C-alpha cells in the first residue's frame, strides 16, 4: 500500500510537470505565432495608401477636380499654375487683350517676336514667325495652343494634342481601348477635330497610376522615344513603365512632353529624334540622314529645322542629371503642408522657390544661389545674342547672293550652314532654362552655331569653310641673326618678302 | 586505498579543470572590463566612440541638428527589443572583427543592412510627415531620406 502511494506520488508530480512543461512550450509557440500574424497585418496596412478616400478613382477618371477630392493639397498647388510670374529670362506677365470671336482670351503673354524681331527673320516662312509668345503655366497649355495664330496661318494636325492636353483617355477611347491605335488616329485628324475630343490640360491621370499613385508614362511618343534611345545605347525592348527606376520616372514623366520632336511622314506620327542619341549633334545627324526639314526658309531657300523645347535633352547633358537629380527634385520639390510632406505640384521655375528647390542640397544663402543662376543665364544669353546676329548676317548674305545669282554650290553650302546654325541656335532659344540645365553644353552649342553662321558667310565669299592651308608658324628664336627693327620681327609680314628666309632681311 | 587514489586522480583533474576555467573566466572577465564591454549594452553615445576610429562621427553628432533628440542607437538600430539587440549583437561582432583585423574600408562606409536600418530609423519619428510621399513602391525603390538629408546626424 505504501509502495503504491509512494510510486503514485512521483508519477503524479511527473504528470503535473509534464503538463506545465507542455503548456509553457505551447504558450511560447502561440505567442510567437500571434506576433508573426500581427507583424504581417501591420505590413499589409502599411502597403495601403495612407489617404482619406473620399471618392474612388480609377483609370477612367480624367477630371483633376475629382482626383482633387482625395488629394486636396496637391490639387490646390496644381491650380496655382495659373499664376504668371516673370523671372529674368523666363515666365511672363499677364497682358490684357480684347477678346474676339476667333480668340476669346482676355489675358495673354507678351509676344517674343515683338521683343526680338530677329526671330521673325530666323523663322521666315514658318508659322512661328506669325505668333510666338512668352511661356506660361501648365494650366494654359490647351487654351494657348487652341487660339494661337499658328493655327490660323497653317492647318496643324491633331498630333499637336499629344502634349498640350490630357490625351490618355481620349487616345484610349479613339482606339477602342488601344492607346497606340488612338494616338495614330488622332495624328491624322485636323487639329480642330482632335480638339473636340479633349477637355483638360495635363492632368493627374497623365502621370499617376490611379490605384497606387505610382508615376507612369502615358504618352506613346515618349514610350517609343525612350525605347529608341535605349536601343541606341544597347538596351533592347525597353519598357519604361516596368523597367525605369523610381528616380528615373521623376524625370521621364516630364520628358513625355518637354522634348524636341517632329512629325514623321504623311501619317504625321509624333517621333522623338533620339535614334542616334540625345545631343544636338546626334539629333541633327539623324535629321540629315532622314533628309528631313521642317520648312524651306522663305528668304534663303535653306532646308530649315525648328527646335522645340528640348529641356529633357539638355538636362541630360548637365551636372544635375549626372548626379541623379531629376526634374521633380527642382521643379516639384518636397514641401511641407501642415503635417505632411508632399511634392509641390505648383510646377514652375525653381528660381521662384530657391529654398525648397536648391537649399536641400546646396546649403548656401539664397542671394548667392540666385547670383550664380543669373551669372549662368546672363552668359548664355550673351552668346545667344551673338549667335542671333551671326545667323541674321548669314541670312542677309544669302538673300543677296541668291539675287545676284551666285554659284549654285556656294548657295547650297551656305544654306546647309544656315540649317546647322539655325537648328543649334534654336535648340537653345527654345529651351526654357537659358542654359541652366547644362551651362557648358549650352554655350558650346551656341559657339558652334556662331561658327556655322560665319562659315556660311565665308562660303558665300568663296573662302573655304575649313582652313586648307597649314598656318605658318613663327621662326624658332635660334635662327634670328638680326635684331628686330622698328618693332617688326624679320620674317613677318610687313618686313620680309614672301618666301624670304627668316632672319636674312631687315637690319 | 584504491578508492582514495581514484578520488585523488579525479580530484586532480577537477582542480586542474577548475584552475583552467577560472583562468579563462578571469582573463575573459578582465578583458571584458578593460574593453568596457558593459557599455555596449547601454544607449550612451560615448560607448560608440570607445574606438577612436568613430571619434569624428561622435564629434559631428555633438553639433548636429539631432544632438538633443537622437543618440546613436536611435538611428542605427531598428525598433523593437529583439531586433534592436540582435542588430547590436551582429554589429558588435562585425565591428570587433573588422577593427581587430583592420580589414575595413577607409573612410568608413556603412554596409547595406545598416544603411537600410538607418533609413527606417528616420521613420521612427518622421513617419507621419512623410506618409504622403512614401507610397507603394517596387522593392528597392523606397525613398532615400539620407541622400538629401545626409548631415542630420553626422556626414
| Mean pLDDT of the residues in chain B | 88
Inter-chain residue contact B133 with A342, CB threshold 8 Å: yes
Tell me: do B15 and B52 sit in the same domain. Answer: no
Tell me: do B20 and B49 sit in the same domain. Answer: no
Tell me: do B83 and B27 sit in the same domain. Answer: no
Q: Residue A491: its pLDDT value, please?
A: 43
Mean pLDDT of the region A341-346: 95
Q: Given a cut of 60, is residue B29 above it in pLDDT?
A: yes
Tell me: do B76 and B5 sit in the same domain. Answer: no
The three three-digit cell numbers of residue A260, written as one number: 524636341
Tell me: do B54 and B98 sit in the same domain. Answer: yes
- Cα separation, A125 vs A58, whole angstroms: 46
Q: Given a cut of 50, is residue A119 above it in pLDDT?
A: yes
Q: Given a cut of 70, is residue A32 above it in pLDDT?
A: yes
Q: Residue B139: its pLDDT value, please?
A: 67
- In angstroms, the Cα distances linking A327 to A83, A248, A316, A332 are 20, 9, 10, 8
CATH classification of the domain holding B107 = 1.10.3820.10
- In angstroms, the Cα distances linking A221 to A162, A248, A250, A348 are 8, 17, 17, 24
Q: Residue B87: its pLDDT value, please?
A: 96
At A237, is the pLDDT very low, low, confident or very high (cuts 50, 70, 90)? very high
Structure ipTM: 0.73
At A4, is the pLDDT very low, low, confident or very high (cuts 50, 70, 90)? low
Q: Residue B51: its pLDDT value, please?
A: 86
Tell me: do B59 and B94 sit in the same domain. Answer: yes
Closest chain A C-alpha to B150 CA, distance in angstroms:
9
User: Per-residue pLDDT tens for B70-124?
Assistant: 999 999 999 999 999 999 999 999 999 998 898 998 888 899 999 999 999 998 9
Inter-chain residue contact B129 with A339, CB threshold 8 Å: yes
- Which residue of B129, B136, B138 is in closest CB contact with A341? B129
- Cα separation, A389 vs A183, whole angstroms: 40
- Cα separation, A431 vs A314, whole angstroms: 8
Closest-CA residue to A259 (of A179, A315, A341): A315
| Mean pLDDT of the residues in chain A | 90
Closest chain B C-alpha to A431 CA, distance in angstroms:
28
A11-20, A66-75, A436-445 — which is least confidently predicted?
Answer: A11-20
Inter-chain residue contact A245 with B128, CB threshold 8 Å: no
What are the DSSP calls for A136-200, one per residue? --GGGHHHHHHHSTHHHHS--BGGGHHHHS--HHHHHHHTTT-HHHHHHHHHTSBHHHHHTT---
- Cα separation, A92 vs A109, whole angstroms: 6
Q: Residue A494: its pLDDT value, please?
A: 42
SS (H, E, C) A111-125: EHHHHCCHHHHHCCC
Closest chain B C-alpha to A310 CA, distance in angstroms:
27
Tell me: do B48 and B94 sit in the same domain. Answer: yes
User: Per-residue pLDDT tens for A386-416?
Assistant: 999 999 999 999 999 999 999 999 999 999 9
Interface of A with B (CB under 8 A): 47, 49-51, 73, 212-214, 245-246, 334, 336, 339-343, 360-361
Tell me: do B67 and B25 sit in the same domain. Answer: no
Tell me: do B65 and B114 sit in the same domain. Answer: yes
Q: Residue A39: its pLDDT value, please?
A: 83
Q: Residue A486: its pLDDT value, please?
A: 44
Mean pLDDT of the region A481-493: 47
Best interface-test mutation with B: which of A47, A340, A360, A363 has the largest number of B CBs within 10 A? A340
What pTM was computed for the model? Answer: 0.81
At B7, is the pLDDT very low, low, confident or very high (cuts 50, 70, 90)? low
A292 C-beta neighbours (distance < 10 Å), count: 16
Q: Given a cut of 90, is residue A260 above it in pLDDT?
A: yes
Tell me: do B42 and B80 sit in the same domain. Answer: yes
Q: Domain range for residue B2?
A: 1-34
Q: Given a cut of 70, is residue A44 above it in pLDDT?
A: no
Tell me: do B137 and B91 sit in the same domain. Answer: yes
Tell me: do B14 and B51 sit in the same domain. Answer: no
Best interface-test mutation with B: which of A35, A73, A334, A355 has the largest number of B CBs within 10 A? A334
A184-188, A361-365, A491-495 — which is least confidently predicted?
Answer: A491-495
User: Per-residue pLDDT tens for A143-199?
Assistant: 999 999 999 999 999 999 999 999 999 999 999 999 999 999 999 999 999 999 999
Number of domains in chain B: 2
**A338: closest chain B residue by CA:** B129
- In angstroms, the Cα distances linking B143 to A11, A51, A204, A208 are 62, 18, 21, 17
At A10, is the pLDDT very low, low, confident or very high (cuts 50, 70, 90)? low
> Strands A340-343 and A334-337: what pairing?
antiparallel
At B8, is the pLDDT very low, low, confident or very high (cuts 50, 70, 90)? confident
Q: Which segment, A296-300, A460-464, A485-489, is predicted with the most confidence on average? A: A296-300
At A47, is the pLDDT very low, low, confident or very high (cuts 50, 70, 90)? low
User: Per-residue pLDDT tens for A209-224?
Assistant: 998 889 999 999 999 9
Q: Given a cut of 80, is residue B131 above it in pLDDT?
A: yes
Amino acid at each position: 500500500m505504501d509502495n503504491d502511494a509512494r510510486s503514485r506520488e512521483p508519477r503524479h508530480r511527473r504528470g503535473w510537470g509534464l503538463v506545465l512543461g507542455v503548456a509553457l512550450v505551447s504558450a511560447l509557440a502561440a505567442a510567437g505565432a500571434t506576433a508573426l500574424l500581427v507583424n504581417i497585418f501591420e505590413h499589409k496596412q502599411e502597403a495601403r495608401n495612407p489617404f482619406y478616400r473620399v471618392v474612388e478613382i480609377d483609370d477612367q477618371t480624367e477630371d483633376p477636380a475629382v482626383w482633387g477630392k482625395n488629394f486636396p493639397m496637391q490639387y490646390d498647388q496644381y491650380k496655382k499654375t495659373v499664376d504668371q510670374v516673370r523671372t529674368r529670362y523666363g515666365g511672363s506677365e499677364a497682358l490684357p487683350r480684347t477678346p474676339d470671336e476667333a480668340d476669346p482670351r482676355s489675358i495673354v503673354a507678351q509676344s517674343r517676336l515683338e521683343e526680338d524681331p530677329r526671330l521673325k527673320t530666323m523663322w521666315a516662312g514658318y508659322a512661328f514667325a506669325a505668333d510666338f509668345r512668352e511661356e506660361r503655366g501648365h494650366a494654359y497649355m490647351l487654351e494657348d495652343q487652341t487660339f494661337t495664330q499658328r493655327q490660323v496661318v497653317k492647318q496643324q494636325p491633331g498630333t499637336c494634342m499629344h502634349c498640350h492636353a490630357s490625351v490618355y483617355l481620349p487616345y484610349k477611347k479613339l482606339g477602342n481601348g488601344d492607346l497606340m491605335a488612338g494616338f495614330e488616329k488622332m495624328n491624322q485628324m485636323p487639329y480642330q477635330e482632335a480638339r473636340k475630343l479633349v477637355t483638360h490640360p495635363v492632368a493627374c491621370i497623365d502621370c499617376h497610376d490611379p490605384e497606387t499613385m505610382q508615376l507612369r508614362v502615358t504618352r506613346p511618343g515618349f514610350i517609343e522615344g525612350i525605347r529608341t534611345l535605349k536601343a541606341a545605347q544597347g538596351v533592347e525592348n525597353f519598357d519604361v513603365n516596368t523597367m525605369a527606376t523610381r528616380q528615373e520616372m521623376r524625370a521621364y514623366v516630364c520628358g513625355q512632353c518637354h522634348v524636341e520632336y517632329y512629325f514623321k511622314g504623311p501619317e504625321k506620327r509624333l517621333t522623338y529624334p533620339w535614334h542616334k542619341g540625345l545631343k544636338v549633334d546626334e539629333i541633327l545627324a539623324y535629321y540629315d540622314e532622314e533628309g528631313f526639314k521642317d520648312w524651306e526658309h522663305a528668304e534663303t531657300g535653306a532646308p530649315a529645322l525648328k527646335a522645340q523645347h528640348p529641356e529633357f535633352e539638355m538636362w541630360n547633358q548637365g551636372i544635375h542629371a549626372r548626379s541623379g537629380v531629376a526634374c521633380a527634385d527642382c521643379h516639384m520639390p518636397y514641401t511641407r503642408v501642415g503635417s505632411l510632406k508632399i511634392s509641390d505640384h505648383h510646377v514652375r521655375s525653381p528660381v521662384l522657390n530657391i529654398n525648397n528647390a536648391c537649399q536641400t542640397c546646396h546649403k548656401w544663402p539664397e542671394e548667392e544661389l540666385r547670383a550664380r543662376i543669373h551669372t549662368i543665364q546672363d552668359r548664355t544669353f550673351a552668346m545667344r545674342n551673338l549667335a542671333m546676329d551671326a545667323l541674321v548676317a548669314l541670312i542677309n548674305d544669302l538673300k543677296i547672293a541668291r539675287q545676284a545669282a551666285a554659284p549654285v554650290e556656294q548657295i547650297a553650302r551656305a544654306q546647309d550652314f544656315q540649317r546647322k546654325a539655325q537648328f543649334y541656335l534654336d535648340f537653345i532659344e527654345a529651351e526654357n532654362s537659358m542654359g541652366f540645365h547644362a551651362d557648358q553644353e549650352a554655350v558650346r552649342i551656341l559657339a558652334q552655331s556662331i561658327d556655322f553662321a560665319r562659315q556660311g558667310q565665308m562660303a558665300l565669299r568663296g573662302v573655304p569653310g575649313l582652313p586648307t592651308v597649314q598656318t605658318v608658324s613663327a621662326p624658332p628664336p635660334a635662327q634670328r641673326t638680326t635684331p628686330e627693327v622698328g618693332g617688326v620681327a624679320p620674317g613677318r609680314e610687313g618686313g620680309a618678302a614672301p618666301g624670304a628666309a627668316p632672319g636674312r632681311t631687315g637690319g | 586505498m584504491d578508492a582514495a587514489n581514484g578520488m585523488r586522480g579525479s580530484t586532480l583533474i577537477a582542480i586542474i579543470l577548475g584552475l583552467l576555467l577560472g583562468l579563462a573566466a578571469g582573463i575573459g572577465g578582465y578583458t571584458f572590463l578593460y574593453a568596457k564591454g558593459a557599455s555596449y549594452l547601454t544607449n550612451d553615445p560615448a560607448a560608440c566612440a570607445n574606438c577612436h576610429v568613430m571619434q569624428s562621427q561622435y564629434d559631428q553628432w555633438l553639433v548636429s541638428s539631432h544632438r538633443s533628440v537622437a543618440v546613436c542607437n536611435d538611428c542605427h538600430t531598428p525598433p523593437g527589443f529583439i531586433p534592436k539587440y540582435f542588430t547590436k549583437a551582429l554589429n558588435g561582432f562585425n565591428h570587433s572583427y573588422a577593427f581587430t583585423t583592420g580589414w575595413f574600408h577607409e573612410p568608413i562606409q556603412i554596409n547595406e543592412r545598416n544603411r537600410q536600418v538607418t533609413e527606417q530609423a528616420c521613420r521612427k519619428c518622421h513617419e507621419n510627415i512623410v506618409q504622403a510621399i512614401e507610397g507603394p513602391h517596387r522593392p528597392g525603390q523606397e525613398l532615400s531620406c539620407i541622400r538629401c538629408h545626409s548631415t542630420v546626424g553626422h556626414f
